[in-house]
Chain A
Amino acid sequence: MELDYQNMIGSIPLFAQAAWTTLWIAVSGVLLASAIGAGCALSLYLEWPFLTRPIKAYIEVSRNTPLLVQLFLLHFGLKVEALPCAVMALAFLGGGYMAEAFRAGLEAVERSQVESALSLGLSRYETVRYVVLPQALISAVPAIGANVIFLFKETSVVSVVAVTDIVAVAKDLISLYYETAEALIMLVIAYLVLLTPICLAVWWLERRVKHAVFGR
Chain B
Amino acid sequence: MRNLFKFVAIVAAVFGFAGASTFVNAADAQDSIAAIKARGHLKIAVFSDKPPFGFVDKDGKNQGYDVYFARRFAKELLGDESKIEFTLTEPANRVDLLESGRVDIVLANFTVTPERSKRVDFAKPYFKTAIGVVSNDQTPINKVEDLQGKKLIVIRGTTADVYFSKIKGIDLVKYDQISDAFQALRDGRGVGLAQDTTLVLAWANENKGFSVGVGDIGDVEPIAPAVRKGNTELRDWINDTLAKLGKENFAHKAFDATLKPYYGNIKPEDIIVEGGVF
Contacts and interface: CB of A to CB of B under 8 A. Distances in A.
Contact of B162 (A3, A164, A176, A181): A176
Interface in A168-195: 168, 171-172, 174-178, 180-181, 185, 188-189, 192
Interface string B1-45: 001000100110011001101100100000000000000000000
Interface in B169-183: 173-177, 180, 183
B232 to A, nearest CB: 19
Assign chain B's interface to a size class.
Answer: 35 or more
Contacts of A177: 115
B115 A171 contact: no
Interface residues of A, number: 25
Contact of A1 (B21, B119, B162): B21
B177 to A, nearest CB: 8
A79 to B, nearest CB: 6
B91 A175 contact: yes
B3 A200 contact: yes
Nearest to B161: A175
Interface string A92-135: 00000000000000000000000000000000000000000000
B180 A185 contact: no
Interface in A55-79: 76, 79
A192 B161 contact: no
Interface in B75-123: 91-92, 95-96, 99, 115-116, 118-119
Nearest to A81: B189
Contacts of A160: 175-177, 180
Contact of B10 (A159, A162, A178, A192): A192
B11 A178 contact: no
B7 A76 contact: no
A160 B183 CA distance: 13
A76 B183 contact: yes
Given A188-B14, A189-B11, A196-B7, A176 B21 contact: no
A1 B156 contact: no
A76 B14 contact: no
B193 to A, nearest CB: 12
A96 B157 CA distance: 36
- Which residue among A176, A189, A196 has the maximum number of chain B CB atoms within 10 Å of its CB? A176
Contacts of B173: 82, 162
Nearest to B186: A76
B18 A172 contact: no
Contact of B18 (A164, A174, A185, A200): A185
Contacts of A162: 173-175, 184, 189
Given A162-B175, A176-B161, A192-B10, 19 more contacts: A1-B18, A3-B15, A76-B180, A76-B187, A82-B189, A159-B176, A160-B176, A160-B177, A164-B174, A168-B174, A171-B157, A172-B156, A172-B165, A175-B161, A177-B115, A178-B119, A180-B96, A196-B3, A196-B7
14 contacts: A1-B22, A76-B184, A79-B187, A82-B173, A174-B157, A175-B161, A178-B118, A180-B96, A185-B15, A188-B14, A189-B11, A192-B7, A192-B11, A196-B3
> Which 4 pairs show the lowest CB-CB distances between chains A and B?
A175-B157, A175-B92, A178-B119, A1-B22
Interface of A: 1, 3, 76, 79, 82, 159-160, 162, 164, 168, 171-172, 174-178, 180-181, 185, 188-189, 192, 196, 200
